[in-house]
Amino acid sequence: MNTQKIREYYNSNPLTFIIIVGFLFRLLAAIFSKGYGWSDDHFLIIEIAQSWVDGLNYNSWLPLEDGTNEPPGFSFFYVGIHYYIFSFFEWIGIFNPQSKMLITRVLHALWSLLIIYYGYKITLELSNKKTAIIVGWILSLLWLFPMLSVRNLVEYVSIPPIMYGLWVIINSNKTKLWTWIWVGFVFGIAFSIRFQTALIFGSIGIVMLIQGKWKEAIYIAIGGVISLVIFQGGIDWLVWDKPFIQLLHYIGYNSNQENIMQYTVGPWYTYMLLIIGILIPPISIFITIGFFKEWKKLLIIFIPVIVFLIFHSYYPNKQERFVLTIIPMMIIIGIIGWQKISENKKTGSLLRSFIRGSWIFFWIINFIALVPITLMYSKQARVESMSYISDYGNINNFVIEDIHKTNSGFPPQFYIKNWYNYVSIKDSNDLLEHSKIQQNYNDSEQPGFILFYQPIDIELRVENMKTIYPNIVFETIIEPGFMDKVMYWLNPINDNQNIYLYRNTSVLPNKIK
């Protein structure tokens, strides 16, 4: 196919073309962007689901036989889907963790295309084809979106049902009763993926009431209640014998000030600065200006976004992923409003040149970031260290020596294909206590591997560990990926460190690699 035919196809089928390009980048992310982005997109989804497949109760998410544990306060809907996906994989003979995650990432990539599709359709309905094309390309190729599209991040996975519901509401001239109920049901699915989306749906309902759409709002509410009864009340009743118990525990946990302060706390303007940065200045400034330009005409989208943003700006716990849910909607409103401003005939030639140059700058910077972020293997050292020791089969156990407290989080045991009660040593007291415990074990009961995080004082730390396990030998170094190193350089909180593997020859006498 030559360039002329590609151009002709694009001109006649812009949405299809944009979706194809968006999928190609998401496919690249599915293939190359291994690992996980945050703790929650792995340890609250993947580890839990696989442990259930293996017949275990990881982190006591399910009721214990003695009844001493309480519900964790997380919806079982999304993690339950992965339980069935992983069960199906093993039923057809797919057991390799990386293979499971590759297919899972492709499925998420396909799911995310709905954001592009409905974002384009919503914009076309509210504005014109030119504006819809701009929105479509941004939703397709914004530097962060392909990577996010293949993550198990509830903040992003919950967006397609929201976009679908908005599209039906905005394009509601021929909508029937059952369609409104279905919209509410779909909104309920988004809520079951991420509870905070209730802010969006509640705001949409209020706007519809203000606009006099009482019947439609009531039907949507009915659909939402049906969805909640099935996916929240029903599942909780089957697992815990109490409907909606997870939701109640979630609200209770996040209402406790002590729990809130355990997480990232920032000033009220944190998310506004974050959004401006993600959308790349000065275009992000244009989008922000445009966002307020047409707010009265676009109230059905504007109010939910504002309510969501105000709530999270007020709430002390500020993790950057929390506001990802509303960014596509902000882009839609912002671009619609800005196009109205920039296409004003009174706009001078100097300003037009600045706007044109800003868009060129935006796409240059975007593509500079897009390629490495799309291909990044996130948390590579942590994942590959587990994959490495998994090749040894039964290693009894392993020890993580993290005496310099590198904020390493949990080891992703999904990739080790086993669920060991590993030991984490964070300071000299832990080391001393572990030494006392190990005196009661013989050589065959010792851990197969010791994992040392960070190179600081590595020789001294190894010698200290040898007082407990005298037969450990250096095995290999697992290094973080390129982008992990870049992220650490940009912000040391992203501490994806070298991991030094030492093999315990008392358990594993021979190196197999």
Q: Is 16 helix (H, G, I), strand (E, B) or coil?
A: helix
pTM above 0.85, yes or no: yes
- Predicted confidence at residue 489, as pLDDT, reads 62
Distance CA 462, CA 470 (A): 10
Determine the number of helices (DSSP H) and then strands (DSSP E) in the chain. 25, 5
pLDDT-derived band of residue 408, with 50, 70 and 90 as boundaries? low
Digit-coded pLDDT (tens) for 466-502: 989 999 999 999 998 877 777 766 666 666 778 999 9
Residue type, 449: F
pLDDT of residue 482: 78
Tokens found for residue 448: 């197969």
Surface-to-core class of residue 430, CB atoms within 10 Å of its CB (0-12 exposed, 13-18 middle, 19+ buried): middle
Nearest to 412 by CA among 7, 115, 50: 50
DSSP string, 427-481: SHHHHHHHHHHHTTS-GGGS-SEEEEESSTTHHHHHHHHHTT-TTEEEEEEEPPP
Q: In what order do the strands lie in the sheet with 472-478?
A: 423-425, 398-401, 449-453, 499-504, 472-478
Query: What SS3 class is residue 490?
Result: helix
pLDDT of the residue at 329: 98
Beta-strand ranges (E) seen in 19-90 are: none
3-state secondary structure of 94: coil
Q: Give 165-219 as a 3 state SS string.
A: HHHHHHCCCCCCHHHHHHHHHHHHHHHHHCHHHHHHHHHHHHHHHHCCCHHHHHH
Question: Residue 41: which of 149, 163, 184 has the closest Cα?
Answer: 149
Place of tokens 């009174």: 346
**What are the pLDDT digits (tens) for 69-125?**
888 889 999 999 999 999 999 999 999 999 999 999 999 999 999 999 999 999 999
* Nearest C-alpha neighbor of 121 from the set 228, 25, 15, 202: 15
For residues 137 and 18, the answer to whether their CB atoms sit within 8 Å is yes
**Which of residues 485 and 130 earns the better pLDDT score?**
130
Q: What does the alpha-carbon distance between residue 162 and residue 198 come to, in Å, rounded to a whole number?
A: 11
Question: Is 260 in contact with 80 (CB distance < 8 Å)?
Answer: no
Q: What is the pLDDT of residue 407?
A: 62
Q: What is the mean pLDDT of residues 325-339?
A: 97
The domain locations on the chain are: 14-157, 380-504
pLDDT of residue 485: 76
For residues 326 and 25, what is the distance between their CA atoms, to the nearest angstrom?
A: 22
Residue 230, pLDDT score: 96
Give the pLDDT of residue 350: 84
DSSP state of 317: B
Q: What is the pLDDT of residue 166?
A: 96
394 — pLDDT class (breaks 50, 70, 90): confident
Alpha carbon distance, N-terminus to C-terminus of the chain: 47
180-216 confidence digits (pLDDT tens): 999 999 999 999 999 999 999 999 999 999 999 999 9
Print burial letters for 276-289: b (CB count within 10 Å at least 16), e (below 16): bebbbebbbebbbe
Q: Cα separation of 186 and 228, whole Å?
A: 10
Q: Which residue has the higher pLDDT, 4 or 325?
A: 325
Is residue 211 within 8 Å of 217, Cβ to Cβ? no
The HSE-up count of residue 264 (CA atoms within 13 Å, CB side) is 13
Lowest-pLDDT choice from 139-153, 154-168, 428-442: 428-442
